[in-house]
Structure 1
Amino acid sequence: MEELLREILETLKSERPKKITFSIQDAALYMGIGHEKVRELVDKKNTDFPYFKIGTRTAIDKRALDRWLEKITEEHRTI
């Protein structure tokens, strides 16, 4: 019975929708950098960092972030 419950829980976890937007903290964790650096990228004037606002909350689209990371990697950019 315990094994069956464990299997059901695993199935439910895997059926949850995948996260497509990140918070500042999520993006920092995803990129392996500090949240202060992500905040700096967002706050930078004329930034090309992919973010948008939902009210006062900053959100980062995962697909756009992946494309941005590819771009800065190809450019050998220092952030």
Structure 2
Amino acid sequence: MEEILIEILETLKSERPKKITFTIAEAANYSGIGQVKIRELINKPNTDFPFFKVGARALIDKAALDNWMEKITQEHRGL
């Protein structure tokens, strides 16, 4: 019985919805771009950095961040 419960718990953990947005800290960890640089990109006028605000909090869409990183890589753009 205990083995079955453990297996059920493991299944439930693996079926959690995957995170689709990042905080600045999570985006920095995921992308390798520093938090300070991400904040600069967010605060830059007319930025193409993929973020949105919920109140004062900036969130970054994971898929849009992946696309943005691919774009700047193809452009050989410096940050």
TM score, norm. by length of structure 1: 0.88
In 2, Cα distance between equivalents of 1:3 and 1:78: 53
Count of matched residue positions in the alignment of Structure 1 and Structure 2: 79
Structure 2 alignment gaps of length 5 or more: none
Q: How does 1:31-46 map to 2 (within 5 A)?
A: 31-46=31-46
Structure 1 alignment gaps of length 5 or more: none
- SS of structure 1 residue aligned to 2:77: coil
- Following TM superposition, by how much is the alpha carbon of 1:3 offset from its aligned partner in structure 2, in angstroms? 4.3
Q: How does 1:1-79 map to 2 (within 5 A)?
A: 3-79=3-79
RMSD: 1.4
TM score, norm. by length of structure 2: 0.88
- SS of structure 2 residue aligned to 1:11: helix
Indicate the percent of aligned positions where both proteins have the same amino acid. Answer: 70
Deviating beyond 3 angstroms after TM superposition, the runs of 4 or more aligned structure 1 residues are 1-6
- Following TM superposition, by how much is the alpha carbon of 1:62 offset from its aligned partner in structure 2, in angstroms? 0.8
- Following TM superposition, by how much is the alpha carbon of 1:45 offset from its aligned partner in structure 2, in angstroms? 1.6
- SS of structure 1 residue aligned to 2:19: coil
